[in-house]
Amino acid sequence: MSLTIENLHASVDGNEILKGLNLEIPAGEVHAIIGPNGSGKSTLSKIIAGHDDYEVSEGRVLLDGVDIAKLAVDERSRAGIFLAFQYPAEVPGVSNANFLRAALQARLPEGEEIDAVAFYKGMYAKMDELEMNRKFTSRSVNEGFSGGEKKRNEILQMIMLDPRYCLLDETDSGLDIDALKVVAKGVNSMRSENRGFLVITHYQRLLDYIKPDHVHVMADGQIVKSGGAELALKLEESGYDFLKTA
């Protein structure tokens, strides 16, 4: 069981952003990608999620062995891929509760309805863990949210949708240390042998709280170096300069 990326080439408006990227995230492991701005980290997560701004010219993404090239964004989601956005979109007029409910409803067979009581009970329990105010459920999705509220909301959705593979795109950006701890706690609570994580980050800081099993350095559309958790620490000390000499 794994999320596997094989020789992925992708471009937007004719500019190649991924240039033959290989990565395997087995279920049960947390992989981190770090790299300088513009290395293609965020693009990778959007391509895995199926964003149609990007054209995949070569290579493939396998979800537990199945090529997902033909699946639409929502189908990939229901197949088990979750992307926690760096900048989650606002959906005016749609409450967080209704939004989550629609997302869960989309996973049920036709004709089956969500049990509203169980839904709210489950959501409230998770919100308590993430230290979220109950009033949050009736607010519009991400509208007027602080950076920290948006990220907590992403993690709440991730927990509620119970995905197979979680992609976290710069989840630490815009978080103070307390919020970061809460978010990391939420992510850590989801770690299991059935679930894989890809944590994309610019800073080591997040990895102090979400301990990765493997760290990959991305530069210019490729993975240029892989190692254990210590690799991130080394980078934090010496910066990305070694890439130039490596």
Partner 1 sequence: MNSETATVKQVAFEKDDVGNFSFPESHKFDAGYGLTKDTVDYISKVKDEPAWVNEFRHKALKTFESKPMPTNWATRDLENIDFDAIRYYLSDGAKPKRSWDEVPPEVLETFDRLGVPEQERAFLAGVEAQYDSEAAYSNVKEALADEGVIFVTCSEGLKEHEEIFRPWFGKVIPTGDNKFSALNSAVMSGGSFIYIPPGVKVKHPLQAYFRINSENFGQFERTLIIADEGSEVMYMEGCTAPKFETATLHSAVVELVAMKGAKIQYITVQNWSSNVFNLVTKRGLAHEDAEIRWIDCNIGSRLTMKYPGVVMKGERARGEVISIALANDGQHQDTGAKMIHAANNTTSNVISKSISVGEGRSTYRGQVHIPKHLKGCKNNTECDALLINTNSRTDTYPAISVKGNQHVTQHEASVSQVSQEMLFYMQQRGISEAAAMSLAVNGFINDLVSEFPMEYSVELKRLIELEMEGSVG
The residues of the shown chain that bind partner 1, judged by CB under 8 A, are 49, 51, 53, 72-74, 77-78, 82-83, 85, 88-94, 98-99, 102-103, 106-107, 140, 157, 161
Please answer whether residues 76 and 117 qualify as being in contact, where contact means their C-beta atoms are separated by less than 8 angstroms: no
**Shortest gap between Cβ of 181 and partner 1 (angstroms)?**
25
Q: Whole-number minimum distance, CB 196 to partner 1, in Å? A: 17
Which residue number, 49 or 219, has a Cβ lying nearer to partner 1?
49
Q: C-beta of 141: minimal distance to partner 1 in Å?
A: 8
Closest CB 8 distance from partner 1, rounded Å: 19
Distance CA 163, CA 158 (A): 7
Distance between CA atoms of residues 17 and 6, nearest Å: 15
Q: Which amino acid is at 180?
A: L
Nearer to partner 1, 107 or 121 (CB): 107
Minimal distance, residue 202 CB to partner 1, in Å? 21
Q: Which is nearer to partner 1, 62 or 161 (CB)?
A: 161
Measured CA to CA, the distance from residue 37 to residue 239 in angstroms comes to 13
Nearer to partner 1 among residue 162 and residue 176 (C-beta) = 162
Please state the closest distance from residue 171 (CB atom) to partner 1, in A: 15
Q: Give dist(CA 115, CA 167) in Å, integer.
A: 28
Name which of 200 and 215 has its Cβ closer to partner 1.
200
- Which residue lies nearer to partner 1 by CB, 43 or 204? 43
